[in-house]
Amino acid sequence: MTTTHPRETLLGGTEEHTRTARPDLPPPRGELSAAVEAFLRGKARALPGRRATSDADPFGADLHLALHLTYELHYRGFEEVPDQMEWDPDLLRLRALLEHRFEDALRDACGHHTGVDEAFEELLTEPPDGSGLSHHLLRRGTLEHVREYAVLRSVYQLREADPHLWVVPRLQGRAKAAMMTVQFDEYGCGRSERMHARLYADLMTDLGLDATYGHYLPLVGAPALATVNLMSLLGLHRARRGALVGHFAALEIASSPASSRIAAALRRLGAGAAAVRFYDEHVEADAVHEQLVRREVVGGLLADEPGLAGDVTFGIEATTLLEDTFARSVIHAWESGTTALEAPLGDGGRRTP
């Protein structure tokens, strides 16, 4: 009988899946992330204070890796980091400082819409010059671009719907029922092989990538980490429930047309069926979700709590801001002839970075 290491990717036809205990801690990218890593390893007793966090770039790699490390403790955690660290008071104090620095910068950059309807209308308006990332992949993307894009999105997609579930106990009535309807689809309608995170793992395997949870974290830069950190920031705090609903709506509304273009790009490049399937699934599912989210999740929430309209708008704007920043950074790298990752994939992407 063969013994399989708990962090290996297991392949078995329709039962292909990724087993993982916990990811390894990634290398730090500055003073803040180095301090968090040392603290998690038990090699430091003190963590940075307000001065260090207030001087940090709110959209920089150091702050966002440090924030991601504190958030990941609420998901799967890290190898050799005790579960008790999830609620360590010193770590939570630092996380709050990092969150305030990030959120304050987001709020300074947002606030351009008069209300939820105006924010929705902008989401539904395609850029006239076709300048988005999915447009770029469709027209000029290479197979290596697609693989890099899959790596960059893996930090989010391998746990796709998890942060949004935190809002469920904070909703009621129409909003809660509709949210659970959408999430039932996200989790495969009761079939593990149809869970969207599982479909993404299949996509990565199809593209010759390692689908192990957290494997590519060392290669993911600040713009991608910021999009993921926003979900956890909004999800972990009840006071930000309106913004999380706005974030959720923004992703669902923008997903279907972008997924259609990426699916077409994958077909053009000769990708396998599993890679195309992930985006085909989102074309169909998210087209239905769009109306349900807008009318029932957002509409239901605002019927119960109309005072949260400004928070919903902020969630939409912050999501759009970070997604646009991410797209620009990736396209700029590709048009400059360089990798959009922190380092080249190498060895087919299966070697530990």
Contacts of 46 (CB under 8 A, 6+ apart): 35, 90
Q: What is the pLDDT of residues 273-317, one digit of tens each?
A: 999 999 998 887 666 778 899 999 999 999 999 999 999 999 999
Distance CA(300)–CA(297), nearest Å, equals 5
Contact 295, 102 (CB under 8 A): no
- 228, with CB counted inside 10 A (0-12, 13-18, 19+), is buried
Crossing angle between the packed helical segments 89-109 and 61-72, to the nearest 10 degrees: 130
Crossing angle between the packed helical segments 61-72 and 31-40, to the nearest 10 degrees: 20
Of how many residues is the chain composed?
353
Contact 171, 301 (CB under 8 A): yes
Mean of per-residue pLDDT scores for the chain: 90
Please report, for the chain, the start and end positions of each structural domain, with discontinuous segments joined by +: 21-109, 116-349
Q: What is the pLDDT of residues 103-147, one digit of tens each?
A: 999 999 998 888 999 998 888 877 766 779 999 999 999 999 999
Q: What share of the chain is helix, strand, coil (3-state, %, to 5)?
A: 65, 0, 30
- Please work out, in degrees rounded to the nearest 5, the angle formed at the alpha carbon of residue 139 by the alpha carbons of 218 and 248: 55
Contact 348, 256 (CB under 8 A): no
Strands (E) located in the chain: 9-10, 17-18
Q: What is the pLDDT of residue 347?
A: 53
**In this structure, CATH architecture of domain 116-349:** Up-down Bundle (1.20)
Percent of all residues in the chain with a pLDDT value above 70, rounded to a whole number: 90
Q: What is the pLDDT of residue 17?
A: 41
The whole model's pTM is what? 0.90
Distance CA(38)–CA(325), nearest Å, equals 30
Q: What is the pLDDT of residue 282?
A: 85
Q: What is the pLDDT of residue 8?
A: 37
Phi, psi of 81 (to 5 degrees): -110, 120
